[in-house]
Amino acid sequence: MDLDWLKDFLALAEHKNFSRAADARNVTQPAFSRRIRALEDWIGTPLFVRGAQGATLTPAGSYFLPLADDLMRNLHRARRDTRAMGEHAGTTLSIAATHALSFTFFPAWIRGHMRFEALGTLNLISDSMEACEEIMLGGEVHFLLCHYHADAPTRFEPSRFQSVHVGDDVLVPVCAPDAENRPVWPLPGSRERRTRLLAYSQASGLGRILAAHQGGGDGIACLETVFTSHLAATLLTMAREGHGVAWLPLTLAADDLTHARLVRAGPEQFDIPIEIRLIRAFDCRNHAADELWNLLSGSPTNHIG
């Protein structure tokens, strides 16, 4: 049996739709469907009922779901624990961080909290929020550093994860200035001239936050999405070149705003305050991880909700 079949099964059980599950697994839908069928052939019974509304678990699929979840978790734990046996205890600290925070917030933040001679080897993995979640859920890192908003969903169960507030940020709508230093793409737009939106893709945690905030009644009707990326830095470059408006973390856009390469596209009512949080799993720890967590323990600590 291929381990990817189990990951595909869990993705389809979560999304209940072949197309969305295939996107989440970064494979084509035909290839995804073949792998699901291969798993069902290997087990010897159908696991899903296919229908016009999507895919639902059969009784056998419902029975297999917690077993598959436990199996994946145990495999990741076995890999992590075996790898840990080959490392010197407490000498490696692994942190996953979203791209934007890796470049802006992380360097000064970690320097202010850890002495590298005491820390040993620091391993930073920079990726999209979706990829960082997979790494964290798989037990491959001690911490995840990410932007957080109470209205945006997370994949971290309160029984397994806790977090600490380590900083603040704000999503600010910005665009290129015109000759008179006014926004080229002002907010709010109008029906006659819709504002071009440089949007985040589904893999982006900032995209989830923006969608949750605008979906809660603060949305802007006259926006037209013209470009998507999971990288805030890419959206910054596109905004700087005049292609539209992007909601960027102020930690990333501050220098461009200061030097007038970008300007605010609208008043502060369109800003979205967000937190920067460090997330930790209860079952992934070593001496270096405990030392960092203890240094942060004076800050408000929460379970993920």
pLDDT of residue 292: 83
Residues 138 and 280 in one domain: yes
Q: Is the dihedral of CA 71, 73, 77, 79 positive or negative?
A: positive
Beta bridge partners of 273: 170
Give the HSE-up count for residue 218: Cα atoms under 13 Å, Cβ half-sphere.
13
Residues 92 and 154 in one domain: yes
Domain boundary residue, one of 34, 68, 84:
84
Beta bridge partners of 148: 275
Structure tokens at 101: 């925070």
Residues 54 and 185 in one domain: no
Q: Give me the CATH number covering residue 7.
A: 1.10.10.10
pLDDT of residue 111: 83
How confident is the model over 246-275, as pLDDT tens digits?
999 999 999 999 999 999 999 999 999 999
Q: Give me the CATH number covering residue 246.
A: 3.40.190.10
Domain boundary residue, one of 38, 57, 84:
84
The answer to whether the CB of 131 falls within 8 A of the CB of 253 is: no
Nearest to 149 by CA among 127, 131, 165, 132: 165
Residues 156 and 180 in one domain: no
Mean pLDDT of the chain: 87
What is d(CA 215, CA 268) in angstroms, rounded to the nearest whole number?
A: 18
Indicate the pLDDT class of residue 301, thresholds 50, 70 and 90. low
3-state secondary structure of 36: helix
Please give the average per-residue pLDDT across 210-238, as a whole number. Answer: 81
How confident is the model over 126-171, as pLDDT tens digits?
999 999 999 999 888 999 999 999 988 788 888 889 899 999 999 9
Residues 105 and 78 in one domain: no
The answer to whether the CB of 285 falls within 8 A of the CB of 160 is: no
Range(s) of the domain holding residue 248 = 169-274
Residues 187 and 91 in one domain: no
The answer to whether the CB of 185 falls within 8 A of the CB of 175 is: yes
- Per-residue DSSP letter, 246: E
> Which of the pair, 286 or 297, is modelled with greater confidence?
286
How confident is the model over 90-114, as pLDDT tens digits?
457 889 999 999 989 999 998 887 6
3-state secondary structure of 103: helix
What is d(CA 148, CA 209) in angstroms, rounded to the nearest whole number?
A: 8
How confident is the model over 164-214, as pLDDT tens digits?
999 999 999 999 999 999 999 998 877 777 889 999 998 899 999 998 887
Nearest to 99 by CA among 288, 229, 1, 218: 229
Residues 128 and 152 in one domain: yes
Q: Is the dihedral of CA 224, 230, 232, 237 positive or negative?
A: negative
pLDDT of residue 218: 45
pLDDT for residue 297 is more than 80: no
- Helices and strands (H, E) in the chain, number of each type: 12, 12
Do you know the residue count of the chain? 305
Quote the pTM value. 0.68
Q: Which residue stretches of the chain are H helix?
A: 3-15, 18-24, 29-43, 59-85, 99-103, 106-113, 116-119, 129-137, 205-213, 232-240, 250-258, 287-296
In one letter, which amino acid is 207? G
Residues 139 and 54 in one domain: no
3-state secondary structure of 139: coil
pLDDT of residue 138: 87
Indicate the pLDDT class of residue 216, thresholds 50, 70 and 90. very low
